[in-house]
Chain A
Amino acid sequence: MKPKVAFYWCASCGGCEEAVLDLAEAVLDVAAAVDIVFWPVALDFKEADVAGMDDGAIAISFVNGAVRTSHQLEMARLLRRKSKLVVAFGACAQLGGIPGLANLTTASGVLDEVYRDMAVPLREIREDGATLTLPELFDAVFALDRAIPVDYYVPGCPPSPKVVADAFQALLRDPPPEPGTVLAPNQAMCDECPRRDRRPEDVKLARFYGVEERAIDPADCILAQGFPCLGPATRAGCGARCIKGNMPCTGCFGPTSAVRDYGAKALCSIASIVSGNEVEEIDGTLDGIADPVGTFYRYSLPASFLGGQAGNLPHGRQ
């Protein structure tokens, strides 16, 4: 009997679904090895089908996207009940992701920003005797493991084909990896960066540049050129794809296992290589980082020490 597998998306952009498809021909091997019982983007199974299964009937559920609404919470809990293993797939599920930057405000703050001067959307509509409801928008965005216990994480925004393929292999292996493992190499991205040897031993920056400010030399270390490349702080596994695209790393694979708060550590390290000993000089250099939260916590604000919300979501099985 082929193991049953589910894919689900919470607050997500669809990129992680594409990441699975990015396996290209390999996706056929996956389809052959497993029995996909739920995948809203691709297959027509309903929530009721999942609810009707036995608890633990699904071998692995891959859940991507952050938890932002009551419905997403409900689905996360449903899949947790029905699955032996739940894998947080992608940066949003692992760390809260880009949607997590909304944690700088509240639900009403978000709605005001987007739909200024309009009332909060209707929560309920009746039509033809049927009732349609909108789920509750939580005041904060949560990473998946704040909603349900998570067994493994597949990092990346989205995870790279290699990481996805390796993750599948790892999960189907016996014995499986240690619970809680992030299924990607445990070094920072410099390990696989083609420009690593171009980084001088002593990088001291007097100025930071935004990518829109000046051209990036395609051969030299991007950080050494004054762009805040977070490669040294970010887990490897992506094959340095952004660097190969001549763009600085923005940190979507999250931290190594030695770091608890990604943004704090990345910030700490970048600040350490600022040149200058006087406050005015230092401040002048730091002016080049106009948006610290966006730079350092682009993908991980909900998972950070200060950027999530406790209390509203009890962590546990339903």
Chain B
Amino acid sequence: MPDREVRIGVYTCHCGTNIAATVDVRAVAEFAAALPHVVLSREYKYMCSEPGQDLIRQDIRDHNLNRIVVASCSPHLHEHTFRTALKVGGLNPYYFHMVNIREQVSWVHTDRAQATKKAKYLVRAAVRRVGLHEPLERGRVAIHPDVLVVGGGIAGIHAALTLANAGKHVFLVEKEPTIGGHMARFDKTFPTLDCAACILTPKMSAVRAHPNITLWTYAEVTKVDGYVGNYKATVLRHPRYVDEDLCSGCLQCLEACVYKQAKVPDDFNLGLSKRRPIYIPFPQAVPQVPVVDPETCIQFKSGKCKTTCIEACGERHAINLQAESKVEQIEVGTVILATGFQTFDAARTPYYGYGRYPNVYTALEVERLVNASGPTGGEVVMRDGRKPQTVGIVHCVGSRDENTHRWCSRVCCMYSLKLAHLIKEHTGAEIFNFYIDIRTPGKGFEEFYQKLLNEHVHFIRGRVAEVTDWVFDASEEGKLVIRVEDTLAGFVRRIPVDMVVLATGLEPRADAAEVRRLFNISCGGEGFFLERHPKLAPVNTFTDGIFLAGCCQGPKDIPDTVAQAGAAAAEAMALIDAGYVETEPNTAHVDEAVCCGCKTCNSMCPYHAISLVEEIRKSRVNEALCKGCGTCVAACPSGAIRQNLFEDEEIFEEIEGILSNA
């Protein structure tokens, strides 16, 4: 209980018209003025602005206030802002309580009288509560300087290099046997038509060579414990059966494999070509070390192979078929998640014929076709061996669609234009793009579209209804017919083509739900990792110390991915260079006068923050480990544990404030 008299200042914000349009702010301020211990009650247009905060600072001094209540937006937005204002005004920042009358009142209710009444009750609850607040000090936790980057696509690569160049040690963990991600599969990048491999591989090599980066490919994070500044991660490294340190990258083992013909569908080329059981994902793979696939290698399956690969390796003895997986434990201060995306499975839109008609392709498959190191050596040759003379590119497959995904995948218009250009360049075919809108917002994007128009690519505005081989007449014989309503012309058309390319959208990876549990972050409604704020904190998550980069947070192109990766690296660096992070003081503590040593609390804490002190036979909370959930506080049978900022008495006052009749 406070010794000196409680003097509360209440500030009710208009937030322009955001609050004032629905809540009678004046009435709330007047109501607050009449509450016990309220010395001062103001209304103001924008409390979070500089003059708004200044009001608080001034009033603390002029009116000797020792408690402040602000009724405005969500504490998630401005609790920190106002606490700082208190601090500058000379008051302990925790003598503050915030009332949410915007997100949870004015923006969700329509009846002015009811909204105003609700706002009043919430303010009364806060006024009753804040009188019991005690001064609190934030703790400090040191930040381990190492960083874990999960995912070795362009996002993870860029973040890792940025941090490594700044002198931080980075663990880069990638699930596949090579880094490079989706970008390694692209042929050219829009709008400049840079060769993707040419701009990516130097960065991949830089990662390999950088003394500050520990690269673990073919590895996954399996467990994460800890909290910002002090994460402990367990990484499972799968065996490649080829020792990375001993292998020289000569690749002779690949040639020497007993399989003269490659038989295993090649994942990198999306099944369009085959590989052997011992393989390298693509020629510029980093690390340049082959992998043995135990599912298809004869030696693993029967033990009866001549192991010509081992023979070919000779004195280097790099191949070790007895290798085992390795578990690494690392300690880092921050984590950047750059786990990327997966493409929409075109089988979910069966009316486009993917999987039924051999000449229907996904865009990523076509990237491999046009790529010189792809399955067809850069020739656009269809599954039936022919070169197409007419090609239809269907936009928005699995995007902007109530039946599959509602969102726009952001990159498909541009890559569809790119593929139109590349296919035309390779084959001279007549190309049709079927679109809903042409979205070309980036730098040079609109100009690229104009270029395509000048190349006489046809653009038909309409969402394709179906791709069928059911023909009307001889002119359609042997072709795939695209049925679409041409909305600009105003009638339904049938366009026969040789090849159909589906511009499949981007979606969250299938394992995203699992990964985010591992790191204790949330996903948004669509399944992408949830950022802390869509405008102002796009790389932060709600878990301090965990940052996001790239498409795992939402569909985006390479420039935005790289920018975001840089931003995530900067956020991590900001923490590391500050050296410490301040912790919220809403921790629990044991009142040793009341504690009887029953140990109920000891097993309640997931952070093992509470233990029995034998000498005094009472439990004690390690405040550095306590995260402030309050579970032990509710579980304590005798009320001996209390939580700063969430005391039983404070919550009882809130309840009374809400319910006592006005």
Contact = CB atoms under 8 A, between A and B. Distances in A.
Nearest to A200: B599
A266 B596 contact: no
A10 interface: no
A122 B640 CA distance: 50
B320 interface: no
A292 B475 CA distance: 81
B594 A187 contact: yes
Interface stretch (A85-93, A161-169, A176-184, A188-196): A188-196
Interface in B573-604: 591, 593-600, 602-604
B127 to A, nearest CB: 21
Nearest to A271: B635
Nearest to B604: A272
Contact of B600 (A232, A235, A236, A259): A232
B20 interface: no
Nearest to A259: B639
Contact of A265 (B597, B599, B604, B639): B639
B276 to A, nearest CB: 47
A232 B637 contact: yes
A187 B598 CA distance: 10
Nearest to A233: B637
A186 B642 CA distance: 15
Given A201-B612, A256-B640, A186 B603 contact: no
Interface string A207-242: 000000000000000000000001111111000000
B49 to A, nearest CB: 41
A51 to B, nearest CB: 40
A233 B602 contact: no
A273 B604 CA distance: 8
A41 interface: no
B600 A273 contact: yes
A196 B597 contact: yes
A70 interface: no
A251 to B, nearest CB: 10
Nearest to B652: A260
Nearest to B603: A202
Interface in A135-191: 186-191
Contact of A272 (B634, B638, B639, B652): B634
B224 interface: no
A188 B599 CA distance: 12
A255 B600 CA distance: 16
A188 B596 contact: yes
B225 interface: no
Contact of A258 (B594, B602, B652): B594
B593 A260 contact: no
A263 to B, nearest CB: 12
B603 A201 contact: yes
Given A268-B634, A269-B635, A232 B596 contact: yes
A266 B617 CA distance: 21
Nearest to A258: B639
B467 to A, nearest CB: 46
Contacts of B604: 272
A260 B652 CA distance: 10
B648 interface: yes
Contacts of B593: 186-187
A256 B594 contact: yes
Nearest to B638: A188
Contacts of A235: 638
A260 B656 CA distance: 14
B422 to A, nearest CB: 53
Interface in B627-658: 631, 634-640, 642, 648, 652
Nearest to B632: A272
A259 B652 CA distance: 12
A201 B637 CA distance: 15
Contacts of B591: 258
Contacts of A265: 637-639
A232 B652 CA distance: 23
B603 A190 contact: no
Nearest to A267: B637
Nearest to B634: A268
B88 to A, nearest CB: 36
Interface residues of A, number: 32
A203 interface: yes
A147 B59 CA distance: 46
B660 to A, nearest CB: 14
Contact of A188 (B598, B635, B642): B598
A253 to B, nearest CB: 11
B598 A196 contact: yes
Contacts of A189: 596
Contacts of A77: none
A257 B599 CA distance: 19
Contacts of A268: 634-635, 637
Given A201-B602, A201-B612, A255 B639 contact: yes
A277 to B, nearest CB: 13
Given A256-B640, A258-B639, A259-B639, A191 B603 contact: no
A190 B597 contact: yes
A187 B36 CA distance: 34
A235 B596 CA distance: 10
A199 interface: yes
A183 B599 CA distance: 25
Contacts of B638: 187-188, 232-235, 255-256, 258-259, 265
A232 B598 contact: yes
Interface in B609-633: 612, 617, 631
A188 B595 CA distance: 7
A269 B636 contact: yes
Contacts of B595: 187
Interface in A80-139: none
A259 B603 CA distance: 21
Contacts of A259: 638-639
B598 A199 contact: yes
A201 B593 CA distance: 21
A168 B568 CA distance: 69
Contacts of A236: 596
Contacts of B634: 268, 272
A4 interface: no
B619 to A, nearest CB: 10
Given A201-B603, A204-B603, A272 B635 contact: yes
Nearest to A273: B600
Contacts of A190: 596-598
Contacts of A204: 603
B326 to A, nearest CB: 32
Contacts of A257: 594, 639
B637 A202 contact: no
A191 B599 contact: no
Contacts of A230: 637
Contact of A266 (B602, B631, B637, B652): B637
Contact of A203 (B603, B612, B631): B603
Interface in A267-285: 268-270, 272-273
A221 to B, nearest CB: 9
A258 B602 CA distance: 19
B342 to A, nearest CB: 30
A194 to B, nearest CB: 13
Contacts of A232: 596, 598, 600, 637-638
B602 A202 contact: yes
Given A201-B603, A203-B603, A232-B598, 14 more contacts: A186-B594, A187-B640, A188-B637, A190-B596, A191-B596, A191-B597, A232-B600, A233-B637, A256-B639, A266-B637, A268-B634, A269-B637, A272-B631, A273-B603
9 contacts: A190-B598, A191-B597, A191-B617, A201-B603, A232-B637, A233-B637, A268-B637, A269-B635, A272-B631
Kindly list the 7 A-B residue pairs having the minimum CB-CB distance in the complex, ordered from nearest.
Answer: A258-B639, A269-B637, A233-B637, A188-B638, A272-B635, A232-B637, A191-B596
Interface of B: 591, 593-600, 602-604, 612, 617, 631, 634-640, 642, 648, 652
